[in-house]
Amino acid sequence: MRRALVITLMLLIVGSPLKGEIIEKVVAAVNGEAITLTALRDEVESMGGSWDLPQARRKALENLIGRKLLLQEARRYGIFALESEVKAEMNKIVSGFVSERAFNEELKRRGMTRRDIEEEIRQRVMIYKLIRRKFENSIPPISDAEAAEYYRRNKEKFIDPERARIEQAIIPKGQGRDLALKVADKLRGGEEIKDLKAILTRSSVYTPVDKLPSDIAEAVRKLKVGEVSDPIETPAGYLVLKLVDRKPPRQKSFDEVKSEIKLLIRKEKTQRAVTEWINRQKTSADIRILDPSLR
């Protein structure tokens, strides 16, 4: 009987193997619910880890075990995801791609289907609802005094970075560096470049310099207000920059960030409560690591 149970746990059968369907290996089980090898591989990849590193696989497994425990608790609370919620989250994901076709191609590359993504969304929505109900809502309001102390200890987190307002001339790929140099000379002289094959864009937005691509950020830092850069080669062609204005880094005041700090403290306390709960559950849950390399 015990041997039959172990064999059942070692293999999760999707469909009927007699019909040539996939038989998926199970690497662990949490209260009788399987964690598959595929799920483990996906988790390692989502963490940016290397499958060849045992510690990355073990960390990924710990994440999946914690998620299983949270999902089981969500079901115990009667928490489920509405189809409208799943659809809304799916639409957000698809909108991050240039087209629906590009999204489908990425799914194919990863060996996944829309149903796989929908199930992952469904689980994440359930966990989010559980965390809000069971953990976050039980945290008392954060006082101004607690927020002020957090600000005092973490002032470096609340610095408004250097920002720059720039104009840029784009010289399309294939036009050559000579044209880019001519564009730069005209901009330095305050001349129009309409007669040249370049696209000039102006903006009133101040962009954080550290958010710019490294080569562009480096060029911007070297410029004084009103100066024009030498041409910068990019995959799309050449870029010529003019620094219109610069705002240096600035320490934000407590009043500016008080609400943000209270949210940060609440988030940290919630995460700590979730982690402590998962660790307690692990001591009593029936957790079986079936792959010896993960023990």
* Residue 188 lies inside a defined structural domain of this protein: yes
- Can you tell me which residue has the tokens 């600035």? 250
Residues of the chain whose pLDDT is less than 50?
1-22
* pLDDT per residue as tens digits for the range 158-203: 999 999 999 988 888 777 788 889 889 988 988 877 767 778 888 8
List of residues 6+ apart from 29 with CB closer than 8 A: 9, 35, 286, 287, 288, 290
- Can you tell me which residue has the tokens 């087209």? 99
Closest CA to 41 of 23, 24, 20: 24
pLDDT at 16: 38
Find the DSSP H helices in the chain.
2-10, 37-46, 54-76, 83-95, 100-110, 114-130, 144-153, 177-188, 214-222, 254-284
pLDDT at 174: 75
pLDDT at 221: 94
Tokens encoding 189 = 């002289």
* Residue 189 lies inside a defined structural domain of this protein: yes
β partners of residue 208: 163
* pLDDT per residue as tens digits for the range 232-271: 998 888 899 999 999 999 999 999 999 999 999 999 999 9
Q: Are 278 and 69 in contact (CB under 8 A)?
A: yes
* Residue 187 lies inside a defined structural domain of this protein: yes
* Residue 106 lies inside a defined structural domain of this protein: no
Q: Are 73 and 134 in contact (CB under 8 A)?
A: yes
Q: How many domains does the chain have?
A: 1
CATH code of the domain in which 187 resides = 3.10.50.40
Q: How many CB atoms lie within 10 A of CB 41?
A: 15
> In angstroms, rounded to a whole number, what is the distance separating the alpha carbons of residues 236 and 242?
19
List of residues 6+ apart from 140 with CB closer than 8 A: none
Q: Are 38 and 119 in contact (CB under 8 A)?
A: no
List of residues 6+ apart from 52 with CB closer than 8 A: none
Q: Rg of the Cα trace of the chain?
A: 27
Q: Are 288 and 28 in contact (CB under 8 A)?
A: yes
- Cα angle value 237/241/247 (rounded, 5°): 140
Q: Are 130 and 74 in contact (CB under 8 A)?
A: yes
pLDDT at 204: 87
What is this structure's pTM?
0.75
* Residue 222 lies inside a defined structural domain of this protein: yes
List of residues 6+ apart from 209 with CB closer than 8 A: 161, 162, 163, 164, 217, 220, 221
Residue span of the structural domain in which 178 resides: 163-246
* Residue 175 lies inside a defined structural domain of this protein: yes
pLDDT at 198: 78
Element housing 203 (H / E): none
> In angstroms, rounded to a whole number, what is the distance separating the alpha carbons of residues 55 and 47?
12
* Residue 226 lies inside a defined structural domain of this protein: yes
* Residue 137 lies inside a defined structural domain of this protein: no
